[in-house]
Structure 1
Amino acid sequence: MPGTIVEPTERVRPAPTVPACDPVQREPLTREILELKRRLNAVILAHNYQVPEIQDLADFVGDSLGLSQQAARTRADVIVFCGVRFMAETAKILNPDKLVILPDMDAGCSLEESCPADQLAALQRTNPNFYTIAYINCSAAVKALSDVICTSGNAEKIVRAAPADRDLLFVPDENLGQWVMERTGRPMTLWRGNCYAHVEFRRESLLRLKARHPRARVVVHPESLREVRDLADVICSTEQMIHWCKASPDREFIIVTESGILHRLRKECPDKVFHCAPAFDVNRMPSDACRCSECKYMKLNTLEKLRDCMRRLYPRIELPRDLIERARKPIERMLEITARN
C-alpha cells in the first residue's frame, strides 16, 4: 500500500548511556519506596520496558494504552510514572490537578524527538483536509495538534474509525504506520520517524536465531522494520504479547521488542521459554552478534532515582493549562474509540 513519507528537518540525537543498577541496595530501597507510596497516597505505574526491580514493586505494569487507562481512572494523589517523559505527560494531561513525577526527566524518546510540533504544524498547513493520527510516543505539543491519539495496541482500530473523507496523516512512527496501512488498506501520509531500539532488529539475524530454535514462535512489535515483521507469527503491542504468549499452546518464543518485557513474560509464563531477538548496532558490533535490544531512555529509571523523586516530589511534570486542554481531547477520543466493541 503506497504512502507518502515526510522527512523531518533534523535527525535524532543518540540515546544517553545507562548507569548500572546496584543489586545490594535493592531490598532497603524497595521498603523505603513502598513506605513513601503509602504516605503520599501514590500509585506507581511502570512500562513493560522498565528494569525488573521497578516492575516488581509497581502497582500496574503495562503498555502505553494500559498505562493511559490506569492514569485516567486513578484516585491516587500522586502518580509516579516509571517510563519515559511523554508517558508522564499523558498522565498529567489526563490528571491536571494531580502531581505527576518521574524518576528521570532525561528519559526521552527517539520517536518524540523525530517530530517537532512546529514542523508538524507547517505540514498540516499544506493540506487542510489532513486528519492527524498521532502515535502516543510524541510530545504534548504534538498531541495538541492531533485529531486522535493511538497506541501500538489500538492503532488499527483508530485508523479504521477515521473519517473516510479525510486525508490521513500518521505521525511519528513510519513503521507502525506502514503496518497499519497494510492491515487496513487506508492510504496515509507517514512521518519519517522510528524507534531506534526497534529498527536495530534485522531479518538476517532473526533468521539465524530461528534456525537455532526452529520450534519457537516469533512475536514482533509493529515498530519493527517490514523485513522483520514479515518473519512474524504474530505482530502486536507489548501487552498483547503477554496475552498471546500466555494463551498460546506453544512453549518457546522469540520476542522481537525491547528486552525489558522478558521479565514479565517469564514471571507470568514460568513454564515457557523466551529468547530475545538479536539487535544490530552498526556502530558497535557485527550483525550476527546476539545483544538484546534495550531502550536506554527507559533504562535511565532506577530504584535510586525512583526513591529520590518520591522523597523530593521532583522531577515533576508541569504543562500549561491551555496545552493540557488541547492535548486531552485527542487522548479522550482514543479512549472512547478503544472502549467500543
Structure 2
Amino acid sequence: MGLKEDILKLKKEKNALVLAHLYEKAEIQEVADIVGDSYFLSKKAMESSKDIIVFCGVKFMAESAKILSPNKRILIPVNDTTCPMADMATVDKLKAMKLRNPKAKVVTYINSNGDIKALSDVCVTSSSAKAILNNIEEEEIIFLPDRNLGSYLQENIQNKKFILYDGFCPVHERVEEEEVLTLKNRYPNFKVLVHPECSKKVRDLGDFIGSTSELIDYSVQDGTNGFIVVTEEGVLYQMKEKSPNKTFIPIESGMICPNMKKISMKDLYNCLINEEFEVHIEEELRLKAHKSLENMHLLSNK
C-alpha cells in the first residue's frame, strides 16, 4: 500500500478527522476530510464527534481549534509551522498601542496567535470583517496584525478611525503590480482575483477582492472562463477541482507559503500512527482568547 491508502486506513482505525487549509499541498488536500479556510475548519472541529482531529495548517490554526474545542484531542503533523505574519504581532507592542489609544476597540484578524487573541476585543476573518466592524459602536479601531487587510477595510468603512499594526503576509506583500499587469496584458479576457492581504497597488488591479473561500466561490459562479489568481497557489487546487473546464493562472514568481507547505504525506501518516504533536493551551489564556472568538460570532450575526 502507498502512503495515501495508509492514511485513509488510519483515519478509519483511529476515528480521526483530517482538516486541511486551502494553502496545503494538493496531496494533503486530497486525503483530507474537509478543506477550507482557518475559521471554517475550526468550526468543523467544534462540530465533530471524532476521537482525534488532525489539523493540517500553521500552528495558530490548530490553536484556534483548541481554543474553541478544549476537550478535543487536536494534533498538528508538524510542530514548527509558525505563521510569519502572526508572529509579527507581539504582546508588548499591542499593550503599548492600547495604552496610547485607550478608547479604541482591538480588532484582530483570526490569523494571529493565542496570546494576541487573548488581548483582543473581537476576532475577524477577511470575509466577516466588514460586517463585524459595522456592528462595533466605537469609532477608533486598533487593527492587527495585517496592515494590508486593515487598509482595505479602511477604504470600505468610512465611519471608523483605523490604527493599523505594521504586520503583513510575506507571500502576499511581495507581489508587484508589474507582475499582475504583465499577466493582464497576456490574458486580456481573464478576470483578476486578489486576496486583501495584497498591497493596495495590487488590489486596485483586481476585478474581485475576497478571502480564499470567496475567491473560490467567485471563480465557480462567474461566467468568465479564465482567471489570474493573486493569492497562495494552494487555492488553485480547489479552483481546478470545482471548475475543471476553466483556466487558472498563478503569479509567475510563485506565491507559495513555505510554512503551509511543510506538512508532507509522511508527516501526516506519522501524526496519525503515533498520535503526536497534540496542541495544548493554558486555560486562563484560552478563556480570554475564546471571548474574542465568541464576540466574532455575536457581532457577525447582529
Deviations 1:218-253 (A, max 9, x none): 000000000000000010001001111100010000
Deviations 1:165-221 (A, max 9, x none): 342100000000000010111221000000000012111111011100000000000
Alignment check: 8 A CA contact 2:136 2:299 kept = no
Partner of 1:78: 52
**Cα distance in 2, alignment partners of residues 166 and 320 from structure 1:** 33
Query: How far 1:70 moved relative to its partner?
Result: 1.4
Residue 213 (structure 1) aligned with residue 175 (structure 2): no
Partner of 1:116: 90
Partner of 1:321: 283
Partner of 2:131: 157
Letter in structure 1 aligned against 2:152: W
Letter in structure 2 aligned against 1:105: N
Partner of 1:140: 114
Residue 239 (structure 1) aligned with residue 239 (structure 2): no
For the residue of structure 2 that corresponds to 1:108, the secondary structure is coil
Specify which of 32, 36, 40 is matched with residue 58 of structure 1.
Answer: 32
Alignment check: 8 A CA contact 1:65 1:153 kept = no
For the residue of structure 1 that corresponds to 2:55, the secondary structure is strand
**Cα distance in 1, alignment partners of residues 132 and 51 from structure 2:** 31
Residue 230 (structure 1) aligned with residue 192 (structure 2): no
**Cα distance in 2, alignment partners of residues 41 and 95 from structure 1:** 17
Deviations 1:117-175 (A, max 9, x none): 22212321223212000001111000000000011111111211112x34210000000
For the residue of structure 2 that corresponds to 1:300, the secondary structure is coil
Residue 173 (structure 1) aligned with residue 135 (structure 2): no
Residue 309 (structure 1) aligned with residue 282 (structure 2): no
**Cα distance in 2, alignment partners of residues 52 and 173 from structure 1:** 26
**Cα distance in 2, alignment partners of residues 70 and 322 from structure 1:** 24
Structure 2 stretches lacking a partner, 5+ long: none
Structure 1 stretches lacking a partner, 5+ long: 1-26, 278-289
Letter in structure 2 aligned against 1:176: L
**Cα distance in 1, alignment partners of residues 31 and 51 from structure 2:** 18
**Cα distance in 1, alignment partners of residues 280 and 258 from structure 2:** 24
For the residue of structure 2 that corresponds to 1:79, the secondary structure is strand
Partner of 1:283: none
Letter in structure 2 aligned against 1:262: L
**Cα distance in 2, alignment partners of residues 295 and 151 from structure 1:** 19
Partner of 2:104: 130
TM-score by length of 1: 0.86
Alignment check: 8 A CA contact 2:43 2:65 kept = no
Letter in structure 1 aligned against 2:94: L
Aligned residue-pair number: 301
For the residue of structure 1 that corresponds to 2:197, the secondary structure is coil
Partner of 1:14: none
**In angstroms, what is the RMSD of aligned CA positions?**
1.2
Partner of 1:331: 293
Partner of 1:199: 173
For the residue of structure 2 that corresponds to 1:198, the secondary structure is helix
Partner of 1:94: 68
Amino-acid identity (%)? 37
Query: How far 1:339 moved relative to its partner?
Result: 4.2
Query: How far 1:338 moved relative to its partner?
Result: 3.2
**Cα distance in 2, alignment partners of residues 326 and 169 from structure 1:** 18
Query: How far 1:291 moved relative to its partner?
Result: 2.3
Query: How far 1:72 moved relative to its partner?
Result: 2.6
Question: Does the C-alpha gap of structure 1 residues 161 and 298 become closer, same or farther in structure 2, counting only changes over 3 Å?
Answer: same
TM-score by length of 2: 0.96
Deviations 1:241-292 (A, max 9, x none): 1111100010000000000111111011001000002xxxxxxxxxxxx222
**Cα distance in 2, alignment partners of residues 187 and 147 from structure 1:** 16
